[in-house]
Amino acid sequence: MIHPGCLALILVFFLLLLLPFFFAQFMLAALTKLGLSPPMAFVILTGIIIGSSINIPIKRFPRDEEISVDPFVMFGFGRLFSLPRRVRRHVTLAVNVGGCVIPSALALYECLLLARRGPAALMILLIVTLANIVVCFRIARPVPGVGLAIPALVPPLIAASLSLLLIPDFAPPVAFVAGVLGPLIGADLLHLKEIVKMAPAVASIGGAGTFDGIVLSGLVAALLA
């Protein structure tokens, strides 16, 4: 007879194994609500996951103190390989492919589709997006060693609720765009100096990749709408 404690551990382990599949299904469901075909949604999801490990450097900011940097930090492999660390006197600003570039490109694509609906749809998109940007800017708080933190559900809830209220027929794409641009502009770009100042070596926009607020906010907003 299996001990109840062992049975509970087996159940927890089984649920942990299934968690990535549930998360993938959630992301695919959100992407298909944006009007994407299942194959295209799968391609984008794969790109987000793979791109999560890739940071594209765009600018360097000098620092007075020396910083010890792992050579693979730009690619997210610092924990997998042990190599001699390098000393730098600058912080590198980068954008994460999976956490910023791909969701931003998809948001731009959705904007172009919404433009076909006429100026009224674009005006509502602008209103919802600006509202989310303002909220994200106000609630973002610096966390030393982490960066800027915002309550995870606030941006998608605002984007989804305003979209459903103002443009229910096209709420998912509007909510997605506002959900992506709210954290990207309001939390990251408008607080860029603080992010660079707090970063130990690389200030990566969308650096948490698949689990970054830019990605999750957009997808959760689209799914809720």
Please report the pLDDT score of residue 12 as a whole number. Answer: 62
Place of tokens 């904007």: 111
Q: Angle at CA 97, nearest 5°, toward 96 and 102?
A: 125
Instruction: At 206, list the tokens.
Output: 């969308």
Q: Whose structure tokens read 């970063």?
A: 199
- Cβ neighbours of 54 (radius 10 Å): 17
What is the per-residue pLDDT for 67?
A: 57
pLDDT of residue 131: 94
| The pLDDT of residue 63 | 67
Provide the pairing of β-strand 86-96 with 202-205. parallel
Task: Provide the residue type at 60 as one letter.
Answer: R
Are the beta carbons of 179 and 155 closer than 8 angstroms?
Answer: yes
Which residues lie closer than 8 Å to 147 by C-beta, 6 or more apart? Answer: 195, 198, 199, 203, 207
pLDDT at 2: 52
Q: What is the pLDDT of residues 155-169, one digit of tens each?
A: 888 998 999 999 888
Q: List the chain domain ranges.
A: 4-224
Q: Residue 133's pLDDT is what?
A: 93
Q: Which residues of the chain have pLDDT under 70?
A: 1-23, 63-90, 144-147, 199-201, 207-213, 225
